[in-house]
Amino acid sequence: MSKFTILDDFYFSNDSNKINTSTLGKNISFNPIQQIRNDISNIFKDFILVKTNQFDDYSIYKAKVDCLLCVGGIRYIVAIVKNDNNIIGSHIPIQNLNWIVFQTRYTNKEDELKNINIPAKTYSVPKNTCLNDKIKKWIDINNINRDKNLEPKVIYKPENLPLTVELLKMKDSDSFSDSGTVLSALELFQTILILED
C-alpha cells in the first residue's frame, strides 16, 4: 500500500462524517467557507505562519509541522491569501489568515523552508469537524498529461463542502482510492484545498 493512499477516516464513526446541519435554519449567518477555515485553525491551533513570498496579489504563508516519523524530510503547511499587505517575514496566527488555498505538504528540500525561523509544532484533530465530509474522486490527471505541463494529481469533490481537494502524485507509483474524507486527505501531506466562491 502506498503511503499516499486515502484511508477511511479512522478518527470518527460514520455518523460524524456529515456537517451538522441542525443549526443551519437557526443560524442565518452560517458561512461554510468560514467554518472550513475555523476547523483548519482548530487542527493547527496556535500555529504561527511566516509570510515567505508575494506573487502579484497573492501572499504565501508557511509553518513547519512536527513529525516524529519523518526521515530526511519536513512536513509543513501553506496558506495562500489574496490582497494581503503584510511584509515578507511577518508572523501571523493561522486563525487571522483568510486563506483561499490551504496545503499540507512534505519536502526533502531544506531550502523550501529556509526563511521560517519558528520551530515546528504539533497538531491534533478535534472530534467535531466539518472536515470529516466525504470526498469522491472527480478527475485523475495522470502521467499522460506531463507533456502538457500539468502536474499529475487526483482531484476530489466533497459531498457538502464548497471546496476542491487535490492530491499531488509525487511518484508514478502513487495511487489513491476513489473516496475518503477531507481530513484523511490532509493527513497525507501532499494535499491542496481550494475554496470555491
- Predicted local confidence at residue 185, as pLDDT: 97
Residue 137 · residue 154 · CB < 8 Å: yes
For 82-100, what is each residue's pLDDT tens digit? 989 999 999 999 999 999 9
Q: Which residues pair with 24 in a beta bridge?
A: none
User: What percent of the chain clears pLDDT 90, i.e. is strictly above it?
Assistant: 62
For 103-140, what is each residue's pLDDT tens digit? 999 998 888 888 898 999 999 998 889 999 999 999 88
Residue 26 · residue 87 · CB < 8 Å: no
Identify the band that residue 73 occupies on the pLDDT scale cut at 50, 70 and 90: confident
- Predicted local confidence at residue 142, as pLDDT: 67
- C-alpha distances (whole Å) from 128 to each of 90, 106, 125, 165 are 31, 26, 9, 20
Rounded mean pLDDT, 144-171? 83
For 8-43, what is each residue's pLDDT tens digit? 444 444 444 444 444 444 444 679 999 999 999 999
In the chain, count of helices (H) and strands (E)? 2, 10
